[in-house]
Homo-oligomer: A and B are copies of this chain.
Amino acid sequence: MQFPKFVAPDFNKEPFVSAPDVKTEPAGDGFLPENFYATTIYPEYFKIDGKWTMLHKSRMDCAVVIKDGIPTVTEPRRIKAGDQVVVGRKDDGTTGVYVHANCFVEANDDSNSAFAFRTGQSRETSFSWEYDRLYEILRHDRDNGYIVWVLGPACVFDYDSRTAMANLIKKGYCDCLFAGNALATHDLEAALFNTGLGQDIYTKKHVENGHYNHLHTINLVRRAGSIERFLDEYKLDTGVMHALTTTGTPFVLAGSIRDDGPLPEVIPNVYEAQNAMREHTRKATTVICLATQLHTIATGNMTPSYCETEEGIRPVYIYSVDISEFAVNKLHDRGSLSVKGLVTNIQDFLVNLERNL
């Protein structure tokens, strides 16, 4: 596995040498100084006490607090009154802030990349290379990285893809899973009734009173007190939640206003859910988002384009897989330029992936 090489800035050159220390101003109670600086997805450096210091485990659209000479990326909502917050909106080094956007050099890059860069992903884009690269990354990161999956409920509405995802978890290709109440609910519905929203996940036949199945499942889980106890109690042994539970893989289920239930593990406060997700994206080396705009954008917002590992600084690979070009390209358009998109049905994607790993 060969990553593009990280090339650090040369801080012995201008404008770095002559640049002043970065400026800060104290935050108010729940708000930032007016001229606050906001982070990007790229490696960033701040000149503090005459030295350029890298920001660790960054994410975009956040404030930088400097304390004891150390810069820390902080969500604005977590800022406390008096925090010393970096101010100024230049990021070219001249004011003590440097964003190192082009930090990775591809082995055999060429002059056409500029043009290729502008090309969005569509149903007519070739994905052969992207698949092969993804297999390579996942094989590497299973043992040497931290793979986060972000799943929409469609992943468990199909027998083959639900089985494929469960197998990927069991084989070690998932270090953490993000989803909502619906993914977990319909996965457990499938474990108990073999249906998704009342429709057989293999034959697609509608079962009688099937619209009750997910409500019934939620009720039983709530009675059991937890997903794990529910699976035990009913001796269920298939699906995504079962694979997570038996392998001890952590998951974050974030609440949303369209939830029935919810299941006991769902986090009702969305900002606490963000905090829980953020603990994992700080560690992420690869993120795979399937068929959920809400969770994909939320995750993309809090994932940097690089990570520091024992192998050095390398890219974080983010994949957004959806059948809609709009959904795939949206994350990219919001500034998450390192996202790779695949426009396809995630059922086929999962089955493909599992078969090749």
Question: Looking at the complex, which of A3-11, A239-247, A266-274, A308-316 is the stretch in contact with chain B?
Answer: A266-274
Q: Tell yes or no: A183 within 8 A of B by CB.
A: no
A208 neighbours in B (Cβ, 8 Å): 112
CB-CB nearest in chain B for A223: B31
Contact of A126 among B157, B220, B269 (CB under 8 A): B157
Contacting residue for A115 out of B206, B256, B351, CB 8 A: B206
- Closest beta carbon of chain B to A125's beta carbon, Å: 7
- Nearest Cβ in chain B — how far from A3, in angstroms? 17
Contact A32 B277 (CB under 8 A): no
CA distance A288 to B215 in the complex (A): 27
Question: Is A123 in contact with B323, judged by CB distance below 8 angstroms?
Answer: yes
Q: What 0/1 readout, one digit per residue, does chain A (242-272) give for beta carbons within 8 Å of chain B?
A: 0000000000001111111110000011111
Is A294's beta carbon under 8 Å from chain B? yes
**Measured CA separation A349–B257 after assembly (Å):** 25
Which chain B residues lie closer than 8 Å to A128 at the CB level? 158-161, 201-202, 347
Does A307 make an interface contact (CB < 8 A)? no
- Chain B residues with CB below 8 A from A223, complex form: 28, 30-31
- List CB contacts (< 8 Å) of A314-357 with chain B: 323-326, 329-330, 333-335, 342-345, 347-349, 351-352, 355
| A130 surroundings in chain B (CB, below 8 A) | 204
Which among A118, A128, A208, A294 has the greatest number of chain B C-beta atoms within 10 A? A128
A131-B160, A212-B89 as given contacts; A199 in contact with B126, CB under 8 Å: yes
> Is A95's CB within 8 Å of the partner chain B?
no
| Smallest beta-carbon distance A194→chain B, Å | 11
Say how far A95's CB is from chain B's closest CB, in angstroms: 13
Which of chain A's residues 22-66 have a Cβ closer than 8 Å to chain B?
28, 30-32, 34, 36, 38, 61
A218: B residues at CB distance < 8 A: 76
Q: Cβ of A123 and Cβ of B154 under 8 Å apart?
A: yes
Asked whether, in the complex, the Cβ of B294 is within 8 Å of the Cβ of A323, the reply is no
Most chain B CB inside 10 Å of its own CB: which residue of A158, A258, A261: A258
A1 sits at the interface (CB 8 A): no
A219 interfacial by beta-carbon distance below 8 Å: yes
Shortest CB distance A31–B (Å)? 4
Whether A206 contacts B61 in the complex (CB less than 8 A), given A159-B126, A270-B268, A291-B123, comes out as no
CA distance A110 to B269 in the complex (A): 44
User: Is A82 in contact with chain B by the CB < 8 A criterion?
Assistant: no
Q: Which of A12-20, A139-147, A295-303 contacts B (4 or more CB under 8 A)?
A: A295-303
Is A124's beta carbon under 8 Å from chain B?
yes
User: Within the assembled complex, what's the spacing in Å between the Cα atoms of A297 and B256?
Assistant: 11
What's the nearest-Cβ distance from chain B to residue A330, in Å?
A: 8
- Interfacial residues, chain A to chain B (CB-CB below 8 A): 28, 30-32, 34, 36, 38, 61, 76-77, 89, 110, 112-113, 115-116, 118-120, 122-131, 153-154, 157-161, 196-197, 199-209, 211-212, 215-216, 218-220, 222-223, 254-262, 268-274, 277, 291, 293-295, 297-298, 301, 323-326, 329-330, 333-335, 342-345, 347-349, 351-352, 355
What are 29 inter-chain pairs, A to B, with CB distance below 8 A?
Answer: A31-B223, A38-B211, A38-B212, A116-B206, A126-B199, A126-B204, A128-B158, A128-B161, A128-B202, A129-B204, A130-B204, A131-B160, A255-B269, A255-B271, A256-B256, A256-B298, A257-B277, A257-B294, A258-B301, A259-B270, A268-B270, A268-B272, A323-B343, A323-B344, A323-B345, A325-B326, A344-B347, A348-B348, A355-B355
